[in-house]
Amino acid sequence: MALHLPQLPLEALLRGRALSEARGEPWAVIEGREVLACDAAARALGVRPGMALSAAWALAPRLRARPRDAGLEREALEAIAGWLCRFTPSVSLEPPQGVLAELRGSLRLFGGIGPLAAQLRAGLGEMGFTARLAAAPTARGAWWLALGSSEALLEERAQLERALAVLPVDALGCDPGSLALLADVGVACVGELMRLPRDGVARRFGQALLDALDQALGSAPEARACYRLPERFAARLELPAPVTQAESVLFAARRLLVQLEGFLAARHAGIRRFALRLRHRDARDGVIGIGLAAPAREAEHFTRLLRERLQAITLTEPVEAIALEAAALVPLPGASANLFRDARTEGEEWARLIERLEARLGGGTVQGLAVHPDHRPERASRRIAPLGGTQRAASAGPRPLWLLEPARRLREAGGAPQDGGPLELLAGPERIESGWWDGGEIARDYFIARSADAALLWVYRERGAAGGWYLHGIFA
Amino acid sequence: MAAPQTILEEILQRRAVWRGGALARPALPAVPSGFAVLDRELPGGGWPGGALTEVLCAREGVGELQLVLPALAALSASGRRIAWLAPPHLPYAPALAAAGVDLAQLAVVRAPGRRDALWAAEQVLRAGACHALLAWLRDARYAELRRLAVAAEAGPALVVLFRPEEAACESSPACLRIALEAAGEHLLARILKRRGALAAAPLRIPIDRPVHALGGASSPAAPARSPAARPCPV
């Protein structure tokens, strides 16, 4: 399978731009004084690739032109290669604008060439790229088909020969001199080139072209260097127009999160935390760190968590670029997220729910409960991390279902406690004296009391000098 | 191969088919409340799953949590999770454990803001990982409750909203509404609304009140307050 990215110079620069912004200013990428690629807004104004920059400016005075950034393009290409690794281990780069992947072994897993191609297109789209896809039994054959913008998905060698034969020779990517010479001898398509005598072709155009032809047809083997996945994930994205809306940052971040999901799937791993770094022009970088209750890999899930966090903060400074980092990969069983996405257990859903709640409400807002062997009522119940908790022996006396934190001082009238009226003491006292060893000493007499409106309360009288009545619990 | 009859029943149970003639959907399996008196009066024989239940009481401390405790204990014992959303006080672990609730299945969610609490309730219901949600929502409006009711339909969860007595005067999308009053060692429950016919008399529910527990000075049971008839629409 070959992926040709004709718009890469532009997309590498603009993929962080949300659709709502895309309708604004026209953009173009230039090389020297010539337009190399331009977006739909520029195209609508008449700007075309190959045009002189001065001519383009005459047509579109608001045109934003940026010189081509080879480094950014290379990064984008590697991002795509890394994402493709989720489908196959053998991916190789075809700089400057192509990626090749060996997918024959993965066809069955992904439901055949057609569905696989659709999945590739969708994924690339989510990352902000458009590609011409072509599949063929040989890598070079597929690449030439993609270059020749024939989006054929071929599985048989015989089909490949016919498809290549009708390709124009300029799809071969050979040097302009050779192309001119081919035109001079009247060769317009690959089929005519194949029919020329081999020794003549080798003499006039070099052995390299002949070898490439053999490789494309599969009669000679081709050795390609495989792309190697890095150990940790780090990706950045420039925002062409600095943004202050959380929604725009999220849009750009999603591009990277999809990339991350591919990377994790390729590594059969998940992560427990990731960080999004927001780069500002005039201020220090902001970092949003997100922790997960259980290792995960789905971009959808990451996006949800990030949305909650982004909504909670206000961006005071415009964001110029974002970077996503994830280290500490955890092995995550399950062959492919796509295959088993639906079969998620209730336990995982529960962990995800807690993450989602904490992402918006704040860390520590979701808690579990545990009993603790301590006679002091306020220490006999503990807040613990959710998803944990063990059952231990319950206490002896009757205990209320609600505990007030802290206990509320009650008024007194004639030595009897009052709470909106006199409290009638029904049962007690239960004396609790404990905690002298750690400074949290208590000495109390607990009673069960009934209020004037028939509620049952747990009250205590402080023993010792201070005295006084307190409401500590409610038998709800 | 199961008999066609049971397959049909299964499909109807899953609520995959809407039947034009039915007034109410075939209910999801109800969770027995643990009080025979109450179960007899509840459609399906227990707390409704996948729907809102409202428990209204004038003040806390009449035994409102006691009412749902047996159901919580049963759910947690079978490994079902229970969320407490924005409770007014700390749910006291020793008392819950003594009532047989498995603490490992509980999660307490604190949500300071009114909107946060509503949002959290919806998230809990939509996640479908939770079999009971107890929520204390302040000043919930009809439209917001309606939204929750729709979210509740997505899952099997028993949803109990604890609300002040005044809420009885507002209309509500809850399918079950019960107003509570203390009556000595009993709990007096009036079913204000349920699926099916109106309930007639208030129920006396024998809940576990620790009035003689400590063996101290006990007093004669207070006279049971009569269920004051309130001129409220239901």
Find the closest chain B residue to A430 by CA distance: B214
The one-letter amino acid at A433: E
Cβ-based contacts of A459 with chain B (< 8 Å): none
Can you spell out the DSSP letters for A257-295?
HHHHHHHHHHHTEEEEEEEEEEEESSSPPEEEEEEEEEE
**Is the pLDDT assigned to residue A111 strictly greater than 90?**
no
Cβ atoms within 10 Å, residue B169: 12
Q: Please compute the mean of the pLDDT values over residues A222-233 and round it to a whole number.
A: 87
Find the closest chain B residue to A375 by CA distance: B94
The distance of A340 to chain B (nearest Cα, Å) reads: 18
Q: SS3 breakdown of chain A: % helix, strand, coil, rounded to 5?
A: 35, 30, 35
Contact B63 A456 (CB under 8 A): yes
Provide the token pair at A91: 């991916």
**pLDDT tens per residue, range A7-50:** 888 888 888 887 666 567 888 899 888 888 888 888 888 889 88
**Is the pLDDT assigned to residue A371 strictly greater than 90?**
no
Q: Where would I find the H helices in A15-135?
A: 19-22, 40-44, 53-59, 70-84, 113-127
The one-letter amino acid at A349: E
- pLDDT of amino acid A277: 93
Contact A402 B63 (CB under 8 A): no
Residues 379-398 of chain A with CB under 8 A from chain B are 380-383, 386, 388-392, 394-395, 397-398
Distance (Å, rounded) from C-alpha A164 to C-alpha A156?
A: 12
**Is the pLDDT assigned to residue A450 strictly greater than 70?**
yes
**pLDDT tens per residue, range A152-164:** 888 888 888 888 8
pTM score of the predicted model = 0.60
Contact A381 B90 (CB under 8 A): yes
**Is the pLDDT assigned to residue B42 strictly greater than 90?**
no
Partner B contacted by A268 (CB < 8 A): no
**Is the pLDDT assigned to residue A210 strictly greater than 60?**
yes
**pLDDT tens per residue, range A263-278:** 998 888 889 889 999 9
Find the closest chain B residue to A384 by CA distance: B107
Contact B61 A370 (CB under 8 A): no
Cβ-based contacts of B211 with chain A (< 8 Å): 426-427, 448, 450, 456
Q: Where would I find the H helices in B128-209?
A: 142-153
Find the closest chain A residue to B155 by CA distance: A346
**pLDDT tens per residue, range A70-110:** 888 999 999 999 999 988 888 999 888 899 998 888 888 88
B147 contacts: CB under 8 Å, gap ≥ 6: B118, B122
Partner B contacted by A422 (CB < 8 A): no
- pLDDT of amino acid A308: 84
pLDDT above 90 coverage of chain A, percent: 18
Cβ-based contacts of B99 with chain A (< 8 Å): 401
**Is the pLDDT assigned to residue A337 strictly greater than 50?**
no
Cβ-based contacts of A312 with chain B (< 8 Å): none
A363 contacts: CB under 8 Å, gap ≥ 6: A291
Contact A402 B92 (CB under 8 A): yes
Contact B93 A386 (CB under 8 A): no
**pLDDT tens per residue, range A240-252:** 888 888 888 999 9
**pLDDT tens per residue, range A383-408:** 887 765 555 555 567 889 999 988 99
- pLDDT of amino acid A171: 80
The distance of A312 to chain B (nearest Cα, Å) reads: 12
Partner B contacted by A473 (CB < 8 A): yes
pLDDT above 70 coverage of chain A, percent: 94
Across chain B, what does the average pLDDT equal? 81
Partner B contacted by A19 (CB < 8 A): no
The distance of B172 to chain A (nearest Cα, Å) reads: 24
